[in-house]
Structure 1
Amino acid sequence: MSQFATMRYPKVFLVFITLGLCSTVVYCQLSSTYYSTSCPNLLSTVQSAVKQAVTNEKRMGASLLRLHFHDCFVNGCDGSILLDDSSTLTGEKTAVPNANSARGFDVIDTIKTNVEAVCSGVVSCADILAIAARDSVVELGGPTWTVQLGRRDSTTASLSGANNNIPAPTSNLSTLISSFSAQGLSTKEMIALSGGHTIGQARCTNFRARIYNESNIDSTFATSLKSNCPSSSGDNNLSPLDLQTPTTFDNNYYKNLRSQKGLLHSDQQLFNGGSADSQVTTYSSYQNTFFTDFTSAMVKMGNISPLTGSNGQIRKNCRKPN
């Protein structure tokens, strides 16, 4: 037995130990074993549903990851993005970053139904989003991480928060840094989380200005995109964020940036002669480094301002408050 196990510490010292362990409050509120007794089959239930959804449509993995990101950046990871508009509530689905682009709500509904079947009224929609995001990355070949759990669901949403807090595809580097900093995320974490764009697609309306007007773009790449994104039509036409492996979670996103083949203006800002260049270079060369930093940043993002304890509720239907 360790000498520390039998040592008697003064009460005051024990208080400081506790405070030190809980210096980041949310890590004390959430736990990876939160449902181990109340819903022991939770993780396998979510994983099975995500696996089926991604098998049916590879793009869904990116969509579920994006839902978690867009949820956490608006009043914390509270499931607010899942709420439908009603006569008493204005949701976030019609916000500019989400309208005609946020998707996967039906998959979350299916997961919630499956989870309710094994443990009714126990697991929050916010936690389901966090687990589904992780499982989506894994299904597409990316790294895994331990999801912290114990979030509760909001009964309200914020349309203005969704419009103002989620970085736009037109953002420059300083705006991206500020947007993530406002959520307690560092520049390093911003660059790592941006690597989520190694999967998924974007609408023409979000990259048209880049391919027709910007100079820091590979000319052949720009030309190849114009047939699917005309200068004055085709707003909803899609192109992959990572032209090389759009349904595989890898580090090709960063390799593309070094070749001036970032699809969005905000993507290419990470490699444009600025302070982010060296980190992009590292990730383009060392995929494991990217994976390590990405998973760490995902855990931190998932811990943004969770509702815990008696705050919020466990929604029966993810689309509406109880």
Structure 2
Amino acid sequence: MNAGKGHLVLSLTLLLVLACNADDDGGLRKNFYKKSCPQAEKLVRDITWSKAQADPTLGAKLLRVHYHDCFVRGCDGSVLLDPVGTNQSEKNAVPNLTLAGFDVIDDIKKQVEQACPNTVSCADVLSLAARDAVSFPFKKPIWDVLMGRRDGNISLASNIPGNLPSPFADFSTLAQIFSKKGLNVNDLVVLSGAHTIGVAHCGTFSRRLYNFTGKGDADPSLNATYAASLRTQCPNPANPATTVEMDPQSSLSFDSHYFDILIENEGLFQSDAALLTNQGAAKVVQHLRSPDAFFSEFGKSMKKMGAIEVLTGTAGEIRKQCRVVNQS
């Protein structure tokens, strides 16, 4: 082999090695803080578990905040920022007015800052805390969280429309929004399984009960017995403060039960029912009725969601407080 061919083979080999080792998670990785803050993951877990023990609904709350963060400007902690002056932040947008758990993130961040100043991002704190809050009943992490996110310094309520999936959306709209974020139909169905925990306000589904087509009718795709039960809990007009379980009798248990009720046409939102209107998605629903399948697939999809449009390297910043950008 002559020198020219030798260099060519070496170059091709190097490219293949680099391709095989390329990080497909937006620059995120395991053990990101191993040297800079080795206690970070345990600290977040211990505080989160302590909070979750006092509040069994914390998993649903923080999982929702994480989800709402990642779908708007990526997983950059922008949903945590408070409005400044007349500028409306993501918190001010209607879909985010019922988000909760910000105080928990503040507390975790404060203690992490004391241990490792200017090191761990709010975006990573949120990603870890959401996982740990959901995992608390299992006493072990139920999905991996890669880290290395940095915090964004822009948060606009005007960024919500078109990015955050709506409970009123049909299948094509949901699939399009997920596709824009690098998520496929399988991810759409899997991540909808997060509705196995938590509650919803009556206004997010009351149209299905009382005025589905504008003629005072109910959504025919909704189980009639379930609809009658919902009407007793949510009289018309709906009380904005009233909530119901998204997964009846199982809203505190993270499991595959959501997919069982979906098959029974008891998905609470129009976006839940929409999953059965697509043949491919309906097949995934059936597959995820297996607890093992759901837990396995949920971990994979959460890893993908957690890498949406992340800021890494020197992009963004490491906020000292999650509610405000750093002062330059």
* Structure 2 CA distance for aligned equivalents of residues 270 and 228 of structure 1: 25
Give % identity. Answer: 39
- Whether the 8 Å CA contact 2:37–2:116 is kept in 1: the answer is yes
Residues 156-214 of structure 1, C-alpha deviations (whole Å, 9 max, x = no match): 11322223201110011111111110100000011001101100110000010123320
Please name the residue that 1:183 is paired with: 181
SS in structure 2 opposite 1:202?
strand
* Structure 1 CA distance for aligned equivalents of residues 236 and 281 of structure 2: 30
* Structure 2 CA distance for aligned equivalents of residues 214 and 313 of structure 1: 47
Q: Which of residues 302, 305, 309 is equivalent to 1:301? A: 305
Shift of 1:275: 3.2
Would you say 1:249 and 2:254 are equivalent positions? Answer: yes
| Residues 152-167 of structure 1 aligned to structure 2 (within 5 Å) | 152-167=150-165
Residues 23-71 of structure 1, C-alpha deviations (whole Å, 9 max, x = no match): 6361xx2111110111111111111121122222211210101111111
* Structure 2 CA distance for aligned equivalents of residues 239 and 232 of structure 1: 15
The two structures, once aligned, show a CA RMSD in angstroms of: 1.7
* Structure 2 CA distance for aligned equivalents of residues 233 and 203 of structure 1: 9
- Whether the 8 Å CA contact 1:61–1:140 is kept in 2: the answer is no
Please name the residue that 1:76 is paired with: 74
* Structure 2 CA distance for aligned equivalents of residues 215 and 246 of structure 1: 24
Would you say 1:119 and 2:87 are equivalent positions? Answer: no
* Structure 1 CA distance for aligned equivalents of residues 308 and 228 of structure 2: 40
Would you say 1:270 and 2:275 are equivalent positions? Answer: yes
Shift of 1:272: 4.0
* Structure 2 CA distance for aligned equivalents of residues 140 and 264 of structure 1: 26
SS in structure 1 opposite 2:200?
strand
Q: Which of residues 187, 191, 197 is equivalent to 1:199? A: 197
Q: Which of residues 269, 276, 281 is equivalent to 2:286? A: 281
Q: Which runs of 5+ in 2 are unaligned?
A: 1-8, 211-217
SS in structure 1 opposite 2:145?
coil
SS in structure 2 opposite 1:136?
helix
* Structure 2 CA distance for aligned equivalents of residues 88 and 149 of structure 1: 33
* Structure 1 CA distance for aligned equivalents of residues 144 and 299 of structure 2: 9
Deviates more, 1:133-142 or 1:225-234: 133-142
* Structure 1 CA distance for aligned equivalents of residues 78 and 278 of structure 2: 37
Please name the residue that 1:110 is paired with: 107
Please name the residue that 2:170 is paired with: 172
Would you say 1:130 and 2:127 are equivalent positions? Answer: yes
* Structure 2 CA distance for aligned equivalents of residues 157 and 133 of structure 1: 20
Distance of aligned partners of 1:211 and 1:304 in 2 relative to their CA distance in 1, 3 Å threshold: same
* Structure 1 CA distance for aligned equivalents of residues 72 and 183 of structure 2: 14
- Whether the 8 Å CA contact 2:187–2:301 is kept in 1: the answer is yes
Q: Which of residues 308, 319, 322 is equivalent to 2:323? A: 319
**Equivalent residue letter for 1:103:** A
SS in structure 2 opposite 1:242?
coil
* Structure 2 CA distance for aligned equivalents of residues 184 and 236 of structure 1: 35
Q: Which of residues 236, 240, 243 is equivalent to 1:235? A: 240
- Whether the 8 Å CA contact 2:162–2:177 is kept in 1: the answer is no
* Structure 1 CA distance for aligned equivalents of residues 46 and 276 of structure 2: 37
User: What is the TM-score when the length of structure 2 is the normalising length?
Assistant: 0.90
* Structure 1 CA distance for aligned equivalents of residues 111 and 167 of structure 2: 35
**Equivalent residue letter for 2:309:** S
Q: Which runs of 5+ in 1 are unaligned?
A: 1-8
Distance of aligned partners of 1:110 and 1:23 in 2 relative to their CA distance in 1, 3 Å threshold: closer
SS in structure 2 opposite 1:239?
strand
* Structure 1 CA distance for aligned equivalents of residues 134 and 276 of structure 2: 24
